[in-house]
Amino acid sequence: MYYLNFKKRRRGQVRAIDFIVSLLLFLLMLSQLILVVINVQNGLNTQMRENLSYEELDTFGRILLQEEGTEFWGYQQSLPSSFGLSRSDSSTSIILDPAKISRIISGTITPPSLISGFEQFDYASVKSILGMDSKHDFQISLEPYLSLNISITQPTESTFESSVIVSDTESHFPLRECQVHFFTLDLITGFIRVDGTEITDTNGRVSHIYNDPHFNIQDGEHVNIVVAEKGPLWGMNWKHPSTVHENVLLGQKSNGTIWIGGLDSSTILVSDTHDLQDTPENHFLSYIYKNTHGSYTNDSISLPSLFEGNESLAVPNSGLIFCFSSVKVGNTFKVGIGSYPAILDSDLASGNFYQVFGRKNEGSREFTKSAKTYPVYIRGTVMKCRLIMWRSR
């Protein structure tokens, strides 16, 4: 009898142990399942947030780039009630108004003498007009589709050779059969010489030998400029031979500002200022543009040494314009550079144009961010517009 009772108690112990082990295994499996569900849910939430951000970006991009907003707000002194950079509403392509592009850059670089009607149009004003709250921010940049790397050598005492590689800024692949135009800016006279046009080979390379541009034999400082075209795509770059031009300063280092705003399709205003301690010996405003016959030409204006104001320039109603402001102080040349349509990009070759429009620092708070690149048409040319939008959580 005792023996039988012992077997019953032992069977009960085994069943209890089995139950405990099974419960532990079940709890372990349940915890793993909970972790999987949590991870999946987090992934879905993240994806939902990203999808929401992309949806917001598409909506925002349509409003900013494809809508006209208040008609001709780019020419008004007062801020518009609605905002859009498009010149005309188009469902097939994005056509931006260069005057509007010129106006929004005043919030990034503010010359002492602003063009009339372009004052106080900054990023905070744009956000307010667009109805964006404090948790939303954006950046917009405009840059050429073609990237140019340029190097200059001096084969002989009387000749220089410019070598250029043209590539796509999106894919970075070299582009063949691109037209590359070569120019020389003489800093003594402000004259821009058209040196010639070459076509890139299968590797996107092209070279051009030009004569020593010493219009003034004693000084003879110059800057080499290249402009590349492939259909409506374009790019530009500049360089000076540092071996003989150590005193040439380009871009923002020159303390010179070239700020271009559009009045209408055939006239632009150039605001040119120089923050100099000494009075310049000369001051030139030189610019390159494409004439009605399709070939590049140039002009140069001699300005008063301490000129700070706006100069009206007659230009064709389409195409690119590049402006160069040069001053000479002692043995030092300082050159400011600008373009129309404006390039909203922080670094182009050895000088600077303009920083991207919008907030530059995304901040330390956690955020969701989306970015998209749009091909945009401005004055018959194609530029790459990169739009970034983010939202702090």
Q: What are the Cα distances from residue 178, in Å, to 188, 198, 238, 296, 348? A: 31, 8, 17, 15, 20
- Give the CA radius of gyration of the chain: 31
Buried b / exposed e over 194-207, threshold 16 CB at 10 Å, is ebeebebeeebbbe
Please choose, from the candidates 348, 341, 180, 332, the residue with its C-alpha nearest in 3D space to the C-alpha of residue 247.
332
Sheet with 146-156: strands ordered across = 146-156, 159-168, 205-211
Phi, psi of 235 (to 5 degrees): -160, 165
SS3 state of residue 392? strand
pLDDT at 179: 92
**Residue 60, token pair as written in the block:** 């925002």
Please choose, from the candidates 94, 101, 211, the residue with its C-alpha nearest in 3D space to the C-alpha of residue 156.
211
Would you tell me how many other CB atoms lie within 10 Å of the CB of residue 221?
Answer: 24
**Residue written as token pair 């139950």:** 19
**What average pLDDT does the segment 113-139 reach?**
74
CB 90 within 8 A of CB 68: no
β-strands 381-392, 367-378: how paired?
Answer: antiparallel
pLDDT at 199: 93
Q: Is the pLDDT of residue 69 over 60?
A: yes
Show the CA angle centred on residue 112, arms to residues 65 and 345, nearest 5°: 35
**H/E element, 327:** strand 321-329
d(CA 58, CA 64) in angstroms, rounded, equals: 10
Q: Is the pLDDT of residue 25 over 80?
A: no
CB 166 within 8 A of CB 146: yes
The pTM assigned to this predicted structure is 0.77
Q: Is the pLDDT of residue 106 over 70?
A: no
- Dmax (CA) for the chain in angstroms is 128
d(CA 80, CA 160) in angstroms, rounded, equals: 51
pLDDT at 207: 92
pLDDT at 245: 54
pLDDT tier at 186, thresholds 50, 70, 90? confident
pLDDT at 48: 45
CB 280 within 8 A of CB 328: yes
Q: Is the dihedral of CA 41, 45, 51, 55 positive or negative?
A: positive
d(CA 320, CA 268) in angstroms, rounded, equals: 12
Sheet with 309-314: strands ordered across = 256-264, 267-274, 309-314
- For 123-128, the CB contacts below 8 A with 24+ separation are 123/357, 123/358, 123/359, 125/79, 126/83
SS3 state of residue 178? coil
Q: If phi over 0 gives left and psi between -120 and 50 gives alpha, with beta otherwise, what is residue 240?
A: beta
**Residue 360, token pair as written in the block:** 């530059």
Per the prediction, the chain carries an average pLDDT of 75
**H/E element, 230:** strand 222-230
pLDDT at 238: 84
**Residue written as token pair 């400029």:** 225
Q: Is the pLDDT of residue 21 over 60?
A: yes
**Residue 26, token pair as written in the block:** 């079940």
Please choose, from the candidates 345, 263, 311, the residue with its C-alpha nearest in 3D space to the C-alpha of residue 99.
263
**Residue 262, token pair as written in the block:** 């559009």
pLDDT tens per residue across span 315-368: 888 888 888 888 887 777 778 788 888 887 755 544 455 567 887 765 556 567
**What average pLDDT does the segment 233-258 reach?**
66
**Residue 280, token pair as written in the block:** 């310049």
**H/E element, 376:** strand 367-378
